Chains A and B, each alone.
Chain A
Amino acid sequence: MSNDFYQTSILPFAAIIIKICRAYTNSQEDFEDYYQEVCLQIWRSKDNFREQCKWSTWVYRISLNVCLTLLKKSKGNGQTYFTSDVLPDVIITENRAFEDESLNQLYVAIRHLSEVDRALILLYLEEKSYQEIADILGTNANNIGVRVNRIKERLKKILDEKFN
């Protein structure tokens, strides 16, 4: 991967990749692995980008796909994988990736969600329209709003239970 490609096509969108990778990993080591894999995948698939969508949408799509694939792989390899409901609090609450404590807590709550719900809420929080969310996730835009509300309720409940 040329330095130019990284500087111009990946680095300006690093925040997107970081936000997504953080939601799917429980340690700094995993986060860095996921981040690198996403960068590689963006580089690998750069020729497939047909400009039918924005580059940022493409980055979102690849980041989510890579994270979901890696998560699935780690499950398949029998590596320690914690599903949303059995995720030990010790692991997730010790993972303080951000300076803002409320943000760390929100990420803890997000990691308690299912893989797809995590993707959905991340895109919602990034202020993507329901149609964009549906395009990125390859789903129907009709029930996105209902699902988002349900997820927000769940997040509030988790935050109240864990941190209040």
Chain B
Amino acid sequence: MKNSIEVIWKEGFLNEKSLVAPKINDLYNQKSKHLVDKMKRMFKVNLIVIVIMAILFLIIYYFLDAIWQGAAVSVLLLLTAWYSIRQKRSIKTLDHGATSLDYLKSFDRSIKDALSEDEKILRFTYPLYFLIAMSTIWSAWNKGPITSKMYQKYPDVIFIGSVPLFAWIIAGVATLLMFYFSDRIYRWDVGLIYGRVFRKLEETIAEMEKLKQG
């Protein structure tokens, strides 16, 4: 080595053209891209998990000898997956706008629209999942001597179609509660998976707007 590192450094940077700052045109371009890509990846993984669950439930319910309930859960999950794919397509056709801020804003809007649509659908599907689960539990019990034992032990209990009336009432109330609270359950569910990244999206948009104002 001819020169010391100090000399290399000093002489190297004399008249060094590479020290010209890179142009900053769209400061958040790359950042927005990373964020949207991350969210799209998360949606994709979620979709794959739903499809896997649909298959798994069918297998598990088959072994529980409750194939119809399993088929119902699978169909519901596959419908959810199909609906998510439709929503993803609408995100793909989003207007990229003039800047990354426009794009992020329309991305955020489309996600919020999708979530509110999901909320409407899940108002019915959550109670349905619950009823299917109840039905599975009951059909599993019914195969055993539980019903006859209950008949003997509580002869005063009213049965409707081999199900005690109080069980119908509990299931009915729980279903109504699920129907009523479905939006909150869904928001909690979504927050659990996407909460952090949604907050990040909102923070980025807020920061970009502030940046725009100077």
Q: Which residues from chain A sit less than 8 Å from chain B, CB to CB? A: 1-2, 4-6, 10-11, 14-15, 17-19, 31-33, 35-37, 39-40, 43-44, 97-100, 102-103, 105-106, 125, 152, 155-156, 159-160, 164
In the A-B complex, list the 4 residue pairs whose CB atoms are closest, starting with the nearest: A103-B12, A2-B214, A14-B21, A100-B12
Cα(A40)–Cα(B207), bound, Å: 10
Cα(A1)–Cα(B26), bound, Å: 11
Interface membership of chain B positions 16-49, coded 1 if the CB is closer than 8 angstroms to chain A and 0 otherwise: 1111111010010011000000000000000000
B142 vs chain A, min Cβ distance (A): 50
Chain A hits for B13, CB < 8 A? 15, 19, 100, 103
Chain B hits for A11, CB < 8 A? 21
B14 vs chain A, min Cβ distance (A): 9
| B12 pairs with A102, CB closer than 8 A | yes
Chain A at the B interface: SS class: helix
Chain B hits for A152, CB < 8 A? 5
Cα(A32)–Cα(B6), bound, Å: 26
| B1 pairs with A36, CB closer than 8 A | no
Cα(A147)–Cα(B1), bound, Å: 21
| B5 pairs with A106, CB closer than 8 A | yes
Chain A, Cβ-Cβ closest to B10 = A125
| B8 pairs with A36, CB closer than 8 A | no
| A100 pairs with B6, CB closer than 8 A | no
Cα(A147)–Cα(B30), bound, Å: 37
A58 vs chain B, min Cβ distance (A): 17
Chain B hits for A160, CB < 8 A? 1
| B5 pairs with A18, CB closer than 8 A | no
Chain B hits for A6, CB < 8 A? 24
Cα(A60)–Cα(B17), bound, Å: 21
Which of B8, B30, B31, B214 contacts A102 (CB under 8 A)?
B8
| A15 pairs with B27, CB closer than 8 A | no
B211 at interface by CB-CB < 8 Å? yes
Chain A, Cβ-Cβ closest to B214 = A2
| A98 pairs with B16, CB closer than 8 A | yes
A156 vs chain B, min Cβ distance (A): 6
Cα(A19)–Cα(B19), bound, Å: 8
Chain B, Cβ-Cβ closest to A155 = B5
Chain B, Cβ-Cβ closest to A43 = B211
Chain A hits for B207, CB < 8 A? 44
| A125 pairs with B6, CB closer than 8 A | yes
Chain B, Cβ-Cβ closest to A1 = B211
Which of A18, A35, A106 contacts B12 (CB under 8 A)?
A106
Chain B, Cβ-Cβ closest to A96 = B18
Chain A hits for B30, CB < 8 A? 32-33, 36
Which of B19, B27, B211, B214 contacts A14 (CB under 8 A)?
B19
Cα(A160)–Cα(B8), bound, Å: 14
Chain A hits for B113, CB < 8 A? none
| A125 pairs with B5, CB closer than 8 A | yes
Chain A hits for B65, CB < 8 A? none
Which of B6, B18, B24 contacts A18 (CB under 8 A)?
B18
Cα(A99)–Cα(B1), bound, Å: 19
| B24 pairs with A100, CB closer than 8 A | no
A123 vs chain B, min Cβ distance (A): 12
| B27 pairs with A39, CB closer than 8 A | yes
